[in-house]
Amino acid sequence: MTGYVDLKEYIDSLTSLSQLRVISALLSEIDVPNATILKAIWRYGPRNISQISRVTKLPRSTITYRLQRLLRVGLRIEPVLRLSALGYEVVYAEIKPAKGKLIEAYKELNREFTRSIGITLTPGHNIQVKILIPKGGKDLALEFLEKLRERGVIDEYSYSICDEEIVTTIVDDRDYNPQIQYYTYDWESWFNEVLKAPSEPILLVDTYIEEPLDQIDYLVLQLLYKNPLIDYVEMGRLVNINYQTLRYHYLKHIEGRKVIIGWAPIILPAPLEKSHYLILNATFYGVKEANKYINAMYMHAPILSICKVKGENTFKFSIFIPRQEEVKFIWFHEALMQQKIIKDYEVLTLIPESVQTNRSFLKPPEELTKLYEKYLSQ
């Protein structure tokens, strides 16, 4: 009976403290000016108020007031980082828990190096998990999964290596409908955008050998993750490093190497209770076709994140759509198959309350290796 009570309490906590539920509640704060500001933040960042003002035609004081209010009520604005530049990759695994071990497996898999996790509603009750690894360090993640299998927590698993994962929870202000107070899904318009989109990469650039970041670079990223409005003087006071040194590292190492792709306001485009959280596994005919889809869609409402499978034309998208949009969602992708953009796809449905994300691990890859080694030695 004790086990049942513990399990019920854990499920209740998942439901009441659901990340998606908290994020969904922020939708009530969005109006036309805020939607416009959030779109501009993606490109210019939350600290560049002057540039946001020039683009949106809103006064600086209005932008500052509205942004500070959004942050006070719980909006997160995260720097969108290139994992390859940080020396990371992601193991994207589908886990089949042992019978009666679903919640235990979920808890065991939800660790400091877990980027996101969720339980599928269909098909079956499996676990979808993204595990952060040092570049080329897949054996660490596989040893972690094997340890769980040997303990009888999970039955089996399959996995892919993703060399990039990009958060795109920024939606185009043109999609915002003030009459219904959330974002609309214009599939026909988006279909035409995909066909006309450029085939060269805009969001996902080819990976290449680059100079690794140093300890101060990671420290600056940690500070920006905690407080996207922080200035260099405040950074220096917090970590006892000259603010000019921190500014140099940001401009030369982080901005100069394009480590930050954009700034993502973490918000859902539609009410949680009326929507579905999906995983779209899509294989494209080629790199150009994948670029056309991503270039057209990454700022629109459905896509929350993009995971690029290493060495393939396959991508794993986190998708958020209202339930009444499901038929149109399928039509959209079937039509893109007819146009030879998408070669194949499958869709998984996640239980929204089970979805947890954690992108706060911003340390050198060798420290991530030590974290794995510490766990595996237990």
What residues does each domain of the chain span?
A: 83-163+367-376, 215-256
Q: Measure the CA–CA gap between 120 and 138, rounded to whole angstroms.
A: 24
| Closest of 23, 68, 28 to residue 46, by C-alpha | 68
Q: Measure the CA–CA gap between 51 and 9, rounded to whole angstroms.
A: 48
Q: How far is CA 126 from CA 94, 97, 110, 118, 162, in A?
A: 7, 7, 14, 9, 20
By the 10 Å C-beta count (0-12 exposed, 13-18 middle, 19+ buried), 65 is classed as exposed
Note the pTM of the prediction, 2 decimals.
Answer: 0.91
What pLDDT score does 1 carry?
42
What pLDDT score does 204 carry?
73
Helix, coil or strand: residue 139: helix
Helix, coil or strand: residue 3: helix
Residue 33's DSSP bridge partners are none
Query: DSSP letters along 59-108, please?
Result: -HHHHHHHHHHHHHTT-EEEEEE-HHHHTEEEEEEEEEEPTT-HHHHHHH
Give the N- to C-terminal CA distance of the chain in Å, as an integer: 29
| Closest of 112, 87, 299, 74 to residue 190, by C-alpha | 299
Give the pLDDT of the chain (378 residues) as one tens digit per residue. Answer: 444 445 556 656 665 557 788 888 888 999 999 999 999 999 999 999 999 999 999 999 999 999 999 999 999 999 999 998 999 999 999 999 999 899 899 999 999 999 999 999 877 789 999 999 999 999 999 999 999 999 999 999 999 999 999 998 878 888 988 888 889 899 999 999 999 999 998 877 665 556 789 999 999 999 999 999 999 999 999 999 999 999 999 999 999 888 999 999 998 888 888 899 999 999 999 999 999 999 999 989 899 999 999 999 999 999 999 999 999 999 999 999 999 999 999 999 999 888 999 998 999 999 999 999 999 998
Helix, coil or strand: residue 46: coil
- Residue environment code for 354-366, b if the CB has 16+ CB neighbours within 10 A, otherwise e: bbbbbbebbbbbe
- Side-chain-side CA neighbours of 69 within 13 Å: the count stands at 15
- Residue environment code for 263-275, b if the CB has 16+ CB neighbours within 10 A, otherwise e: bbbbbbbbebeeb
Token pair for 87: 């020396």
What pLDDT score does 2 carry?
45
In the CATH scheme, what is the code of domain 83-163+367-376?
3.30.70.920
Helix, coil or strand: residue 349: strand
| Closest of 66, 116, 67 to residue 93, by C-alpha | 116
> Which phi and psi (to 5°) does residue 305 adopt?
-160, 160
What pLDDT score does 277 carry?
94
Helix, coil or strand: residue 310: coil
Would you say the C-alpha torsion 30, 32, 33, 37 has a positive or negative sign? Answer: positive
Q: Measure the CA–CA gap between 345 and 280, rounded to whole angstroms.
A: 7
Beta carbons within 8 Å of 308's beta carbon, 6+ residues apart? 162, 163, 164, 165, 204, 315
Q: Measure the CA–CA gap between 173 and 161, rounded to whole angstroms.
A: 33
Would you say the C-alpha torsion 148, 153, 156, 159 has a positive or negative sign? Answer: negative
Q: Are 295 and 202 a contacting pair, CB within 8 Å? A: yes
